[in-house]
Amino acid sequence: MRLRPPAQIRARVPQGRVLGWAVSGSSSIIATDRALLLPEGSELAQIPWDLVLRVTWEMNTAEVTYQLDAGERPETVRVAVVLDEGDLPAVVQERVNASIYIQHHARLEGDLGARFVARRAPGSVELRWSVVFDSGLDSRDPDLRARADVALANLRSVLGI
């Protein structure tokens, strides 16, 4: 476990705390208390934790799946990483899990449906809902989206949120 990030890592995080990092090409991928910072030059500079659906780690790659708007198709970005003695995967998993307030799967069409996840951004009390449709369902289908809206409204009513 690294106790203090090097100067080049701290320089990329003017606000917030660095929780973990890994080398990525000539840059780095950094987990902060607020977001996952992608390597310099990436299309997205950072992804707040409440937008990250999951991160999978392969030998030299992190695959970050995120969703900017509820019900939209999740997007994935692949990042080259060098996982040495750092604990970046564990930190990322903890931050993603910490953002989850509640999750629920509702059937919408046979055994297929959508996963509803309420998340909080660090330091916020506001909930942000993500809706991810099961593989095999067309998230652009207006009837399916209407059923998902009803299922989400019912869930929120039952939970009182």
- pLDDT number for residue 114: 95
pLDDT of residue 3: 65
**pLDDT value for 2:** 53
d(CA 74, CA 95): 19
For 71-108, b where at least 16 C-beta lie within 10 A, e where not — what string?
beeeeeeebebebeebbbbebbeebbeebeeeeeebeb
What's the pLDDT score for residue 141? 93
Question: Which DSSP symbol is given to 151?
Answer: H
Return the closest-CA partner of residue 29 out of 76, 18, 52, 1.
Answer: 18
Residue 14: the pLDDT is 83
pLDDT at 153: 96
Whole-model pTM: value is 0.82
Would you write out the chain's pLDDT as a tens digit for each of its 161 residues? 556 888 889 999 988 899 999 989 889 999 999 999 999 999 989 999 999 999 999 888 999 999 988 778 889 999 999 877 568 999 999 999 999 999 999 999 999 999 999 998 888 888 999 898 999 999 889 999 999 999 999 999 999 98
In the chain the domains, ranked by start, together with CATH numbers, are 7-98 (2.30.29.30), 100-159 (no CATH)
Which residues are paired to 29 by β-bridges? 22
